[in-house]
Amino acid sequence: MATALQLEPAAAPFIDPDEEGALIDAIARWVDKEVRPVVMKHDHDDIWPAELVAQMCEMGLFGATIGKDYGGLGLPATTYAKIVAHIASYWMAITGIFNSHLIMAAAVERFGTEAQKRQWLPRFATGEIRGGLALTEPNAGTDLQAIRTVARREGDDYVINGSKTWISNGVQGSCFALLVKTDPKAEPRYKGMSLFIAPKGPGFTVGKQFEKLGYKSIDSAELVFEDYRLPAANLIGEREGQGFFQATGGLELGRINVAARGVGLAEGSLRLATEYAQVRETMGKPIAEHQAIQLKLGEMVTRARAARLLTMDAAQAYDRGERCDMEAGMAKYFASEAAVRNSEESLRIHGGYGYSKEYDIERYYRDSILMCIGEGTNEMQRMIIAKQWVKRNPA
């Protein structure tokens, strides 16, 4: 049976409530001033938001969860989730630009050698080097142990061949946490998997960039490796066979982020519906006064609130250093489904206008469904939840 890597307990991150409030207020002002005026054009034309990315670097978002010792903000997952939820309540896609990056950084910070942390994390924190997590392959999504990308040791280097697909930041990013097989014949399969810090260079090319229904303005691409050579010093932790747990350990933070994005989409959809229902009139009164609309709003409020509470619960467990795959799975599953349902109900409340690209709600509707797929499908989340629940509650 697979057993997770054992880490030394770390001190729980802490932020003064006043400092957290000031930080979230600053993020809110930035969203109002810089994000909201450009979101519709960027989304419709699928434009990479270069100016917003530069501003996110200046605000430290690419180092949000990286420890202060390595130049990051050292934020607790709870604060990070609140920031993500607020940004996502106006434009979800841009949160993916720094989330994928921070999962890569978390793998290095949690499992890397001290030399690796000193070399890479300060440059990750400033956004000088940006990237993401390169796990998925054409034949391996949820079943990560089925990957075929192989790293072969040659002296002090590894030579890597294979491909990855649907990699966020694949075009614009410059470095990735790359999951490979260092022993393709290992049984069980996870024992032959390793995770590398992989900057772009000779032998590393970007293939197809995917056009998507939603999640615009962030690139999702194929990565191709042909005799791509990396020094052995780039093997995270400098031990082969640990990559499966290093990669999946980072997904806890990733799933909390997806849950927070779901919260943002659910709350944003509710906000749009609430505003519209109070100005749109039928039969001589605002539609918010009609019982049919009130029933929808009542369910939407409840879903959004429950999604936020589940997400905060998972983030608190992560901050305590506890294993939280069940909590993160519950939050990701519920919040993403809440995003889908709230965006659909909000679109219905908008009526025909909701189907128009002149209104924001259609973007929420398109973006929300990805939350049920990314960072592990919701079908897989339910299996994880059930297995962990039974394990924690033996007969």
Contact 195, 178 (CB under 8 A): yes
| Angle between helices 243-279 and 291-319 in degrees, nearest 10 | 150
- What is the SS3 assignment for 124? helix
- Distance between CA atoms of residues 392 and 388, nearest Å: 6
For tokens 């910070």, name the residue. Answer: 109
How far is C-alpha 224 from the chain's CA centre? 22
Q: How far is CA 369 from CA 152, 215, 300, 360, 373, in A?
A: 38, 10, 17, 16, 7
In 314-324, which positions are buried (b, 16+ CB within 10 angstroms) versus exposed (e)?
A: bbbbbbeeeeb
Q: Are 182 and 151 in contact (CB under 8 A)?
A: yes
Name the residues annotated as catalytic.
375
**CA nearest to 145, candidates 76, 108, 194, 107:** 194
Helix, strand, coil percent content, the chain, rounded in steps of 5: 55, 15, 30
Produce one character per residue of 93-125: b if its CB has 16 or more CB atoms within 10 Å, e if not: bbbbbbbbbbbbbbbbbbbbeeebbeebbbbbb
